[in-house]
Structure 1
Amino acid sequence: MGKKKVIAIDVKEITKPKIESLGLILLEMIPKLNDYNLLLLSDVAIPKKFVPSNAKVVVRNVPYSGGSDLIKYQYWMKKQCEQNKAEWYFQINHFSLFKIKGAKQIVVVHDLYPLEQLEKTSSKLKITYWVSLFLTMLNADTIFTVSEFSKRRLEHFFWKSRKVQVNYNGIAAAHISRNVNIVDGKFMLMLGRVSYWKGTIRVAEFFKKYFKNSDYKLIIAGQAKDKNDEDLMKKITNSEENIIWLDYVDNDTRDWLLQNAELFLYASRYDGFGLPPLEAAKVKTKVLMNDIPVLREVTLNKGNYVDFYGEDDMLYKSICETIEDDSREQIEEMYTVAAGYTWDAYVNRIKDTIERG
């Protein structure tokens, strides 16, 4: 058997105390790359439980601070790849600012939200994001987007290239939730970042108006990254007993909420993929999602859709009809769609790229 290839991976996302979506993708991916020698690169120490036996760890020992530190951190990783003779470099988080001598590069671009003009964004952020993606288009050998929609948007802002390919995210197998009652009574659920982007405030205010005296609670699980969003959410939840914001939740709590919700509401204005509604479908929970192209794509037009930002009466009607629909056909169709997205397929696409390289 030939010598194993050395694959370098930026894994700083798995060092966070509260691991988010990009880190969770890495945790699904890394154990499946056991045919290679892995070079795990991070700003700070990696929890030992995340380091497989086929991995070497190199740590910068300087916490990543964002902003201009992206340049310093990525240059540090470039040098580590060259010193350790990495043959491939994998970046889960959008950008590759440098060519790496002796290594081909795979970069995952999840979305182009800062460029989409869906909300007010600073010119500095837009320019920085555009320039970083421009360099990525030049430096990467393969760029994976997580949907055809994201591929088209990347090509819209830059140019068509055969190096841009679609690799849909996987969806982890459902875990039976712990036998603990986290919420009493019936509830609707929102998961994900508390933000304008995800429509969290819109749904909370709508629920306050239309379901104030209903038998349902609205449970919101997710962090607010913006102080204004945090303040708005606290203002709403402090005055409404049946709207509960749990902030960040661990995986066990997340699983319980997904499996016990009467309805999963997904009001995202924009997505690169749209994982949460498929996670809900994977545990056969009813889903009502915003009617945007990417969600139509990844759910194969098998879901329940409504314009969350249209007329209130239409949204109220759609929520009620979805909850009251006792047929299982649509739930089973959505389950089948969700079950088709596997992490094995996601990682095999990466492996195929490496082996062809």
Structure 2
Amino acid sequence: MHIGIDARMYGSKQGGLGRYIQQLIKHLEKTDTKHNFVIFLRQENWHEYEPANHNFKKVLADIPWYGWREQLLLPKIIKKEKINLMHFPHWNIPIFYNQPFVVTIHDLLLLHYPTRKASTLSPISYFLKNIAFRFALCHAIKKSKNIITPCKFTKNDILKHFDVPAKKINAVHLGISNFQIDSLPTDKQDSNSTKITKKYSITKPYILYVGVAYPHKNLEGLMRAWKIFEEKYNDNYQLILAGKKNYFYKQLIQDKQLQNKDIIFTDFVPDNELPELYKNASLYAFPSFYEGFGLPPLEAMSYDIPIASSDRSCLPEILQNAAIYFNPEKPEEIAKILHYLLTDIATRDRLITNGRQLIKKYSWDNTAKRTLEIYQDSV
């Protein structure tokens, strides 16, 4: 069987979706030698992936996401490769693609948060985009052979809003990335830690957030909570916000009401530096209103970092008893939980112990094996 994977969003620079595609392909290479895989990439991530097995090859599909070129030209590129089953790891499937495919739907974010604050488009353009999203999502759900979701929450969300058989939707948990910090000699770890501390102007113990700054991530709420935290509880910490400085991060940086000398915006942090940021953090904060899975808190958990998390969407399902939860709409409550987790040693130890057990459930090998079963069931 010839299986195609749309990897135009491949790589950690594309956030959680890019990391999902990257790790899925990496572990499919470990798992499968029977089928032939064609990995479709853009020019910008072409050199980030090199096939490790003889049954994997890459093909250039330098077509932007969304837009008319994706609709008209991408199907032609796929057709040339004689694909039996295509995997689209996002809902933007070309309407004119009429061959068998599997789709991963990570969340229904635009259905729940149809706000123009989450876009740089004009009101008219955003209105049209929202209509196109709903049409594309319905098309993906209706025409796909199988649907993959990263959690039961998203599966149930789809069942609630769309007329689709439950057996067609497969909840497949993601895995936790291994950044290979253990492979570094101790002296190099210490040296690397010092360099990174200096690079990002870290001068105090810190609370960490890793990810993008879209409005639903609620970094504005976390920053408002930070002001309360410093005034009421402790001003001997820094808040490190690690993510590419896109439009939404820049909006936060420019907001004078949120400005604070102890809030550090790192910009994009490469994978070889993330381990040091994780392992030296005092606490990981995840204030999101809505998630399809939530990889960063699990990655932090793998470094024995206690987690303070929003109680919304899939997060209680994924983080279970290895996090303390707060209402993300209440900055005072967030500040109180941050202080509690920094000072209550027994709770910190309990969360770390629970986290060590929990992360054993989340394996990219298992993700790849389960996904392969879905491929085989789809043709």
2:76 maps to amino acid: K
Q: CA deviation at 1:192?
A: 1.1
2:105 corresponds in structure 1 to 109
1:27 corresponds in structure 2 to 22
Q: 2:244 matched to 1:223?
A: yes
Higher relative CO (Cα under 8 Å, sequence separation at least 6) belongs to 2
Q: 2:60 matched to 1:55?
A: no
1:134 corresponds in structure 2 to 138
2:170 to 152, 165, 169: 165
C-alpha contact 1:174 1:283 (8 A) present in aligned 2: no
2:43 maps to amino acid: V
**Residues 165, 186 of structure 1: CA spacing in aligned structure 2 closer, same or farther, 3 A cutoff?**
same
Q: CA deviation at 1:336?
A: 1.5
Q: CA deviation at 1:278?
A: 1.2
Q: Aligned equivalents of 1:60 and 1:258: distance in 2?
A: 35
1:88 to 74, 77, 85: 85
Q: CA deviation at 1:175?
A: 2.9
Percent identity reads 22
What is the TM-score normalised by the length of structure 2?
0.83
Between 136-145 and 239-248, report the one with greater CA deviation.
Answer: 239-248
Q: CA deviation at 1:45?
A: 6.3
**Residues 48, 54 of structure 1: CA spacing in aligned structure 2 closer, same or farther, 3 A cutoff?**
farther
**Aligned residue runs from structure 1 range 1-357, under 5 A:** 5-14=1-10, 18-34=13-29, 35=33, 36-44=35-43, 46-48=45-47, 50-52=49-51, 53-61=54-62, 63-64=63-64, 66-69=65-68, 72-98=69-95, 100=97, 103-117=99-113, 119-120=115-116, 122-161=126-165, 162-176=167-181, 178=189, 179-181=192-194, 182=197, 183-211=202-230, 214-226=235-247, 229-235=249-255, 239-310=259-330, 312=332, 314-327=333-346, 328-356=349-377, 357=379
Q: Aligned equivalents of 1:193 and 1:88: distance in 2?
A: 32
1:326 maps to amino acid: I
Q: CA deviation at 1:334?
A: 1.9
C-alpha contact 1:237 1:245 (8 A) present in aligned 2: no
Residues 16-39 of structure 1 show CA distances to partners (whole Å, capped at 9, x for unaligned) of 9x3432222222122333422221
Q: Aligned equivalents of 1:12 and 1:155: distance in 2?
A: 28
SS state at 1:180 partner: helix
**Residues 129, 184 of structure 1: CA spacing in aligned structure 2 closer, same or farther, 3 A cutoff?**
same
Greater helix proportion? 2
Task: Tell me how many residue pairs correspond in the alignment.
Answer: 345
Between 173-182 and 259-268, report the one with greater CA deviation.
Answer: 173-182
C-alpha contact 1:299 1:338 (8 A) present in aligned 2: no
C-alpha contact 2:281 2:305 (8 A) present in aligned 1: yes
Q: Aligned equivalents of 1:174 and 1:336: distance in 2?
A: 19
SS state at 2:9 partner: helix
C-alpha contact 1:74 1:97 (8 A) present in aligned 2: yes
C-alpha contact 1:107 1:142 (8 A) present in aligned 2: yes
C-alpha contact 2:228 2:335 (8 A) present in aligned 1: no
Between 153-162 and 92-101, report the one with greater CA deviation.
Answer: 92-101
Q: Aligned equivalents of 2:216 and 2:237: distance in 1?
A: 25
What is the TM-score normalised by the length of structure 1?
0.88
Q: Aligned equivalents of 1:120 and 1:77: distance in 2?
A: 28
| Structure 1: tracts of 5 or more residues without a match | none
C-alpha contact 2:229 2:339 (8 A) present in aligned 1: no
| Structure 2: tracts of 5 or more residues without a match | 118-125
1:193 maps to amino acid: V
Q: Aligned equivalents of 2:354 and 2:133: distance in 1?
A: 38
Q: Aligned equivalents of 1:26 and 1:351: distance in 2?
A: 14
Q: Aligned equivalents of 2:179 and 2:58: distance in 1?
A: 30
